[in-house]
Structure 1
Amino acid sequence: MRKLLAAEFAIWTKPLGSVTEADAMVFNKDVRATLINYLLLYDQIIIPTQNFLVVPVLRLVLGEEAFDYLLSSKVIVLARVAHSFGYAGGGSGLIFYTVGAGPKSATGINLAYLSYLQVDKAIDQVLEVTLPVSTADRKKQLAKILNDNVVQVSTEKLGNEVISETYADIRSSATFKEYFGLRNKGRPLSDLLGIKKDQVRMYAPEIQNDEAPEIDSVLRVAFQNWILGIAGACDALEITGGPLSQDVLNSKVKRYNLLGKGDQAFTEMQSISGVPDIGKGFAMDEISIQQIIKLRESKEAVQFRKWLERAPVGETVNETLERFVASLGPSLVDKLPLKILRFFVTTGAGLLLPIAGGTVGGPAGALAGRAASTSLSAVNTFLFSKWFPRQSPKLFLQQLKVEHQKASQTKAPLVPPPSRKRSR
């Protein structure tokens, strides 16, 4: 099963902007397109969450019926992490913590506390204060779907791993050693300068701390390990959307496919086969979520995901596309030198349009143009052959093209207003 941790859909608890971020995601066409492509590319999409603010986003983007179906069938899974992490003074260093209401706190719903409530209470509150507005019966139905299908990540185990991994990453990096040695030479990583004994700094990348940039660096590395830890807890071998730096990931890349290029390769493969980008089609209201689900569950889509799953760990976009071109069947492209094949792949036009002879200098340009033109008819002829291999992704891409053409005259409903009903 292809599992993806889609970290770009996580709306983390932070001092400023969590709800505003949720609102913005609803109308972001790139976000909508990416979500749809992930539905076609992966068997399961895991979205990490603290506060469940992604719930109104998914309801508004997908619609109620599709939301219920995709969560109930565990195509989309919410992985709940109920703690946050920070850096404490007085030699404590990295810590995990929760926040709760004090004896004098105001009563009522407070979105800032959603991250630390029990799952059922957090779900009830997010349904109460966000759009779409729901009846009492609908809230009960949604609460049951969410409670039954949320995965809770063990914070105690995750916290210990994040702390140890973060310190190990910093100590083993020559870049980090040099940076931390400028002001904190000889000091333990748990007792850096720039914080008082009674202070705790939470991870908030949108707020710059000029007095203790090293502490911010520790928190950034910890956040990367936090994402990796959530992926590991959910058995997700692919991660997208996390701010993962090469310095931190060099020692981890053998365990995870962290390139996050699958969606890009999929879009380029659609282009190569003359298929409009289906994710963008959905974002532009040219294809409905019902048609997307139909495509996702087709035999061709299942075979396509299995084909992608066979990709070696760390495969690049070009390598994915080369495997795709090879799977299309006999054509002159398959017989070209690798250098020419790479040129076709990266231009995204190898099986669409003849490449002008001047694009590549000398005889190679003429050969490329003739091959691209000839290969198009060769592939189209071979496509309808009864001997065409059943597991080739070409079949799925052909179906994508047909479904997109069917939907070209059907407009999906307009997206409702932003996800916030009211703030407290």
Structure 2
Amino acid sequence: MIQSQELVSDMMVNGPVYWAQLADYLLMYDQIVIPTGNLQILSVLRFMLGDDVLLELLETRTIVFARFDEWFGYIGNAGVVSFKFMGGPEKKHTAPNLATSHCLPLDEAIEVMFITTNPLSTREIRQKYKSLLLTHTAQLATTPIMEAARLEAYRDIENSPYLQHMLSIRNGGRPLNYLKGSKSNTVTTFNPHVRRGNDTPPEIWAILSVMFENLLLSIGGKTEVGELTGDTATLSVLQAKGQRLGYSPHGRESFAQLQQVSGVPDLGLAFASKQLSARQIIELRQSKHAQSFRDWLAEGNPSSTAQETLQRYVESVGKPSLVESLPAKLLRFATTTTWGALEPVSGAVVAAADSFLLSKWFPGTSPRLFMRQAKVVTTNSPVIRPPQQKGRDRNALCSCGSEKKYKHCCG
């Protein structure tokens, strides 16, 4: 967690899946709440969206950071514990540290983030960010959230036959606070973006993984979000537990299937491949049809699967007749679900799907109106030249204001 912090940012900036996720979230949700400790994610968003777009999203509270100021780990005689990096007076003159800024006051954490991350910023841009972050960041009461997450994680493990079986094989029935391989003078920390190291016992890593997902659930509850999502590495517990509590991790899967059956190129992948710019994604997001589409998504059951959302989409379109053509994939799905029961369609007609047409629209609110608009945007967009990611010039003046070269100051 403490070493090589920049690898996490590099992975996201260079990984198209994260670009695609961001674009999808902006189109699917009215507001995106991002939990963070050290605000490192801000540098990633700056690379992906550009300062103009990101500042606009922060100002309108489309993106909100939910900030915690503690982290957690495992100690051999105490189990899962939360902690802060406490720096005494002797630490005041050390170089800014992105890892320990989890535990700094918000204004100091913002300064450390700008000093230690790319891209570079002007003093004016930096001040705009700081002003917005100080007023729009949700400061979480971390201690009770961490304690609730720890208790829930222990309950999850105690009620899991699989995890109990794994623990008993190597630990001989030891309590969760005294697992094999743990030491009383060592804290094993957790990073959801990296794989377990060979020196970390699998049982301890399993406990910390469950703790992390319960932390996400606790933060989601405190910020009153309607859906929790993330990458596959952070959804193993939420797949089962999250649905039980009313959260759904299937949002992006549903969105991908809706685009596919509607003949719309994947919007997230178009953004990741630079076919769509951040500004085009925002303009599409701000359209009337996009808002109607998000409202339609929100009307569904929060725990719906992707297939259930897709079926609801088909039902909202209406029965086929002779008005407008349907993509073949949408028609084939429809004839095996809703429409098949209303009006049997022969295999020959399904094969000639392009001749089928829509008759009944939900005026001004049909989710298909947004899909048609999205298709026009992607069809008419040229390929955009990818932004060049450049490292920090170590001979340039440091951005902390010391008037020293970066390599002699914070670098």
Establish whether residue 66 from structure 1 lines up as the match of residue 46 from structure 2. no
**Consecutive unaligned residues in structure 2, runs of 5 or more:** 336-344, 395-409
Distance in 2, matches of 1:102 and 1:226, equals 28
1:231, 1:239 within 8 Å by CA — same for their partners in 2? yes
**2:373 maps to which residue?**
399
Letter in 1 for 2:87: A
What's the counterpart of residue 322 of structure 1? 311
- Who is 2:225 aligned against? 236
Distance in 1 separating the partners of 2:18 and 2:103 = 27
Please tell me whether the aligned partners of residues 262 and 330 of structure 2 are also in contact (alpha carbons under 8 angstroms): no
Give the structure 2 partner of residue 76 of structure 1.
Answer: 63
SS at match of 1:226: helix
Query: How far does the alpha carbon of each residue in 1:352-402 deviate from its partner, in whole angstroms, 9 at most, with x for none?
Result: 99x9xxxxxxxxxx93452253465312xx38xxx6532210111111122
| Equivalent residue letter for 1:122 | A
Q: Structure 1: how far apart are the matches of 2:388 and 2:52?
A: 15
Equivalent residue of 1:87, what SS? strand
Against the structure 1 CA distance between its residues 265 and 250, is the aligned structure 2 distance closer, same or farther, given a 3 Å change threshold? Answer: closer
> What residue number does 1:256 align with?
246
1:98 aligns with 2:84: yes
Residue 195 of structure 1 deviates from its aligned partner by 2.1
Name the aligned partner's letter for residue 247 of structure 2: N
**Alignment partner, residue 171 of structure 1:** 158
More moved, 299-308 vs 186-195: 186-195
After TM superposition, give the deviation of residue 40 of structure 1 in Å: 0.7
Aligned equivalents of 2:117 and 2:174: distance in 1? 46
Whether the 8 Å contact between 1:23 and 1:419 is mirrored in structure 2 is: no
Structure 2 equivalent of residue 52 of structure 1 = 39
| TM-aligned CA distance change 1:368 to 1:119, over 3 Å | farther
CA–CA distance in 2 between the matches of 1:57 and 1:211? 29
Which residue in 1 is equivalent to 2:386?
414
**Cα distance in structure 1, aligned partners of 2:117 and 2:199:** 36
Indicate the residue corresponding to 1:285 in structure 2. 274
1:85 deviates by 0.4
Task: Provide the aligned length of Structure 1 versus Structure 2.
Answer: 380
Q: Which amino acid aligns with 1:285?
A: K
In the alignment, which residue of structure 2 is the partner of 1:9? none
Is the Cα–Cα contact under 8 Å of residues 153 and 211 in structure 2 kept in the other structure? Answer: yes
2:82 aligned counterpart, secondary structure? strand
In structure 2, relative to structure 1, the CA distance for the partners of 1:322 and 1:201 (3 Å cut) is same
Once the two structures are overlaid, the 10-residue window that deviates more, 246-255 or 70-79, is 246-255
Residue 370 of structure 1 aligns with an amino acid whose one-letter code is: V
> How much has 1:201 moved relative to structure 2?
1.7
SS of 2:138's equivalent? strand
Partner of 2:300: 311
Is the CA contact (8 Å cut-off) linking 1:62 and 1:289 kept in structure 2? yes
8 Å Cα contact 1:352-1:376 kept in structure 2: no
In 2, are the aligned partners of 1:173 and 1:247 still within 8 Å (CA)? no
Change over 3 Å in CA distance of 1:60–1:252 after alignment to 2: closer
Does 2:349 match 1:349? no
Work out whether residues 45 and 76 of structure 1, in 8 Å CA contact, stay in contact via their aligned partners in 2: yes
Distance 1:185 1:245, change over 3 A: farther
2:101 is aligned with 1:127: no
CA–CA distance in structure 1, aligned partners of residues 25 and 239 of structure 2: 23
Instruction: Report the alpha carbon displacement of residue 132 of structure 1 after superposing the two structures with TM.
Output: 2.5
How large is the Cα RMSD of the aligned pairs? 3.0
- The offset of 1:39, in angstroms, is 0.6
**Equivalent pair of 1:24/1:418 in contact (CA under 8 Å):** no
Could you tell me the percent identity over the aligned residues?
Answer: 33
TM-score (norm 1): 0.81
Which segments of 5 or more consecutive residues in structure 1 lack a partner in the other structure?
1-13, 333-343, 356-365
- Identify which of structures 1 and 2 has the higher relative contact order when contacts are C-alpha pairs closer than 8 Å and 6+ apart: 1
How far, CA to CA, are the matches of 1:211 and 1:127 in structure 2? 32
Tell me how far apart the structure 2 counterparts of residues 124 and 142 of structure 1 sit (CA, whole Å): 10
Match for residue 113 of structure 1? Answer: 100
Residue 73 of structure 2 aligns to a residue in which SS? strand
Query: Aligned in 2, Cα 1:367/1:251: closer, same or farther, shift over 3 Å?
Result: same
Query: After superposition, where does 1:153-232 map in structure 2 within 5 Å?
Result: 153-204=140-191, 206-210=195-199, 212-232=201-221
Question: Structure 2 counterpart of 1:286, which letter?
Answer: Q
